[in-house]
Amino acid sequence: MKNKTLQGYTLQRLLGKGGMAEVWYAENNLGKPAAIKLMLPKFIGEEQVVKRFESEARAIVQLNHPNIRQVVDFGDFENRPFIIMEYLVGDDLGKLMQKGERFSDEALKKWWKQCVSALKHTHSKGVIHRDIKPSNIFVTKDGNVKILDFGIAKVRDEISMTQTGQGLGTVKYMSPEQINDPKRVGKETDYYSLGMTFAHIIKGSFPLNITKDDSAFAVQSKIVNGDLDLSGILDDWKETIQVAVSTDSENRKLISNNDIDRTIVEKINLRPNEKRAKNAITLIWIVLTLDILWFMSSYWQYHLLQTINDGSYVSDKTWDLSSTIDSIISALYLVVSVISGVTFIKWFRRSYFNLHLKVDGLLYSEGWAAGSWFVPILNLFRPYRIMKELYIKTKDLLINNNISYHQNINTSYLGWWWVLWNVEKWIVNWLPSFILKDETISELITSSIIYMISNSINVLLAIITILEFN
């Protein structure tokens, strides 16, 4: 390929070769240098790959930002698509890190702003990078950075990992959602990868505990589970990095508006979310209504069983109607319980995460804070302690920030609420199994009484919640 001319640029020397393309140094007739990325010959027959390469080239040629490597033109040479890019003098962050170079906090802050600015520009054009990592951030000789290889990750998606030789260098900077569904990622995936890149640089080691022996699947599992070690991150960076590498992509939307001179968490609204609070109360009212209906249904069954036990006649139609009503209410209760549970985990986890950004020294991670509600056997008092901690720390935070909108809550209510909740779950999940051995009439009557007690406790829990938190 040496001395071949592509669109007025003559290839002079090979700069590098990857799993998908090779990059050449070239000059035009005026001596202007350029870097030309030329797809490898083995992909000529891959029609989808070639089309993707060309479509992405058309998209990125429209990008014009000082912190993005400029694409001058694109074309085709002997059925091999190529991209003509500006030639850069300097080195990428990946190579600089391998050399053991350390960077000043001032330089890192400048580069972060430049990267965020570049990503905001590309996202506004509908282009997502999908492969932000140290080797794709280039430090020029004048001390600025330029992001490389926009759009190339989508091309690589058309090629198997084996064909491209893609290794952990790319995988370990992927966002959780990119791992779960790589074809449906938003701009937040770029901010996650950027956060992981800067966490690596600032910390001096990769924030995931991985080894060379770890498979790509093992690394991806750790990313999805959020097993990150952010110790050693400078205080000026800690909050920003925490937001950027959050497993919840919604939190990362804050990054696009981030000014690192004004800490990002100042933009998290401390005031309670009244819309969510109203939605929560609505769910509680629905649960309360279903509990009352279920109590009435259980009482009706109890009455019918007593009638049968006394030797009186109960028609099959009446009994079938009672069973049908009970089944319908049970199904509705299950649906509402699942919706409420999922909603609760999402809101509670986000609340605890946001509190983590504002307050140091919280006892648990946000995942454990939400999940512990559903494993009370491990520690019956832990969920109550987490809930109490969340309330007290948030209240103190509001007061310290001169926000008067807060409500004093008697935390003993929380304790009693939690005790009743555990008792009710124990009654429903365990007691009937000890009683209903032969399913005799007397056992069914006792079981109906247990369900009425359980429904009564649920009604009491809902009333306490509505009265205290409405």
> What are the residue numbers of the active site?
131
Complete DSSP assignment for 242-290: HHHT-SSTTGGGGGGG-BTTB-GGGGS--S--HHHHHHHHHHHHHHHHH
Helix axis angle, 235-244 to 188-203, nearest 10°: 150
Sequence length of the chain is 470
From the list 249, 252, 280, 250, the residue with the least C-alpha distance to 264 is: 252
Alpha-carbon distance of 15 to 36, in angstroms, equals: 9
> CA torsion, points 457, 461, 467, 470, in degrees to nearest 10?
-150
Instruction: List Cβ neighbours of 30 (8 Å cut-off, separation of 6 or more).
Output: none
Is 217 exposed, middle or buried, given 0-12, 13-18 or 19+ CB atoms closer than 10 A? Answer: exposed
Nearest to 137 by CA among 103, 94, 84: 94
Q: What single-letter DSSP state applies at residue 312?
A: -
Ordered alpha helix ranges (H), 18-90: 47-60
Tokens 């005031």 sit on residue: 271
Provide the pairing of β-strand 145-147 with 137-140.
Answer: antiparallel
